[in-house]
Amino acid sequence: MSLPRSSPGATNYDHGVRDPLNSRLAPFGTTIFATMSALAVETGAINLGQGFPDTDGPSEVLDAAVNAIRSGQNQYPPGLGVPELRHAVAEHQRRFWGLEFDPDTEVLITAGATEALAGALLGTLEPGDEVVVFEPMYDSYQACIALSGAKVVPVLLRPTPDGYRFDEDELLAAISPKTRSILLNTPHNPTGKVFTRDEITFISSLAIEHDLMVITDEVYEHLIFDGREHVSMAGLPGMRERTLTISSGGKTFNTTGWKIGWICGPRELLRAAMSAKQFLTYVNGAPFQPAIAAGLRLGDDYFTRLADGLADTRNRLGEGLRAAGFNVFPSEATYFTTVDITPLRPDGDGVAFCTELPHKIGVVAIPNQVFYVNPEHGRNLVRFACCKRPEVIDAAVDRLVTLAA
């Protein structure tokens, strides 16, 4: 959020002395999503920038929240989260990924995956530690690692006609004696990549060899297309004891505003994350916790239909982007498709492109360079979200194809 530097009448506490913002956060500024969503509102453009759905989730989930509010579940829930949801998360991990977690000691409910990530990073990192992260990356990773005093060591995911790939030697070279953990996001935002079993096995072998922790962000675990397989790191040999697995209900149940997330992991690692988490929010979302539990217990058809619906809008968006003349990279999962803009804008300036686009044709997208530690690596790449009703995607496509003329 962008706050005024000083407000009238407020004590000018920092006058002439020092910036009130601490030096660890100073590099990060306002998140791009706030800026671009404000631009969408200001210009009346179709917002394919920030990834939030424009339809409500399943009525079973919405009704469960209303019932919970009406039946008085409105006070602080237990520190670990309501037992019903912890049990539902443990059941979900077994049902979909074959993972066993004790709901009383190995599952922690958080204020979205965002707080789960903050808790896991702030609770385990020492100043000077290094965290290996694939770039581009979700924007909160860099900020939380910086807050903990640790350092991000990026490994590049390069776009190819077959999807995004990393170089095994580059990953190997990124690991040093200071490396504490690897932070992995699969399926991956913003690239739409699903890490393959081979890739995850390779990463796991390095984690074991160098005795590293792995934190894995799996919020798009159910938004996978074309029969691809989600591989959860904790299920690989030797990985359960060193892995914190993070997800949330926002993307799976179209409830991004509820902020109900969770971490699963072995007791000692979970305790470290809990130590930080308890001083961030302590607890959150009492009536939404049983509602997400109801969602996690929905039949397989719900999860299948969710992915099928999104695959349809992914296809419509992808065809439109190709017709507009972009170089479009495959979207294997998630809300997102990324493109190289250079066929349409030879200078490859993604920030200028995204700033002009709402004024020019009434569509908002996100310049990928904000997801990189080295912005140059993503300068010519732009991300479009497909998590909108088909008619909204079609309307956006009608506008995008005019760029080809």
Ligand X SMILES: *Cc1c(COP(=O)(O)O)cnc(C)c1O
33-41, 111-119, 162-170, 233-241 -> range binding ligand X (CB under 6 A)? 111-119
Tell me if 371 contacts ligand X by CB under 6 A. Answer: no
Q: Which of 245, 248, 338, 368 binds ligand X (CB under 6 A)?
A: 248
The span from the CA of 98 to the CA of 264, in Å, is 13
Give 101 or 262: the residue with its C-beta nearer to ligand X: 262
Tell me if 262 contacts ligand X by CB under 6 A. Answer: no
Tell me if 185 contacts ligand X by CB under 6 A. Answer: yes
Q: How many residues bind ligand X (CB under 6 A)?
A: 13
**What are the structure tokens assigned to 317, written together?**
């968006």
**Nearest distance, CB of residue 284 and ligand X, angstroms:** 11
Tell me if 186 contacts ligand X by CB under 6 A. Answer: no
The residues facing 117 across adjacent strands are none
DSSP, residue by residue, 13-81 = TTTTT--SS-TTTTTT-S-HHHHHHHHHHHHT-EE-SS---SS---HHHHHHHHHHHHTT--SPPPTT-
Tell me if 113 contacts ligand X by CB under 6 A. Answer: yes
The span from the CA of 330 to the CA of 339, in Å, is 9
Q: Comparing C-alpha atoms, which of 162, 303, 281, 152 is closest to residue 221?
A: 303
DSSP H helices in 213-345: 267-277, 288-296, 300-324
**Nearest distance, CB of residue 14 and ligand X, angstroms:** 31
Per-residue DSSP letter, 330? P
The span from the CA of 281 to the CA of 376, in Å, is 36
Q: Which of 130, 217, 221, 332 binds ligand X (CB under 6 A)?
A: 217
The span from the CA of 82 to the CA of 118, in Å, is 20
Kind plus residue range of the DSSP H or E element containing 208: helix 197-209
Tell me if 232 contacts ligand X by CB under 6 A. Answer: no
**Nearest distance, CB of residue 181 and ligand X, angstroms:** 16
**Nearest distance, CB of residue 249 and ligand X, angstroms:** 7
**Nearest distance, CB of residue 256 and ligand X, angstroms:** 5
35-43, 124-132, 175-183, 253-261 -> range binding ligand X (CB under 6 A)? 253-261
Tell me if 112 contacts ligand X by CB under 6 A. Answer: yes
The span from the CA of 207 to the CA of 329, in Å, is 29
Give 46 or 120: the residue with its C-beta nearer to ligand X: 120
Give 120 or 294: the residue with its C-beta nearer to ligand X: 120
Give 263 or 357: the residue with its C-beta nearer to ligand X: 263
Tell me if 200 contacts ligand X by CB under 6 A. Answer: no
Tell me if 261 contacts ligand X by CB under 6 A. Answer: yes
> How wide is the angle at C-alpha 307 spanned by C-alphas 195 and 286, nearest 5°?
95
> How wide is the angle at C-alpha 313 spanned by C-alphas 309 and 315, nearest 5°?
115
Which residue of the chain is nearest ligand X when measured via CB?
112
Q: Which of 50, 73, 114, 255 binds ligand X (CB under 6 A)?
A: 114
Give 223 or 294: the residue with its C-beta nearer to ligand X: 223
By CB under 6 A, name the binding residues for ligand X. Answer: 112-114, 138, 185, 189, 217, 219, 248, 250, 256, 259, 261
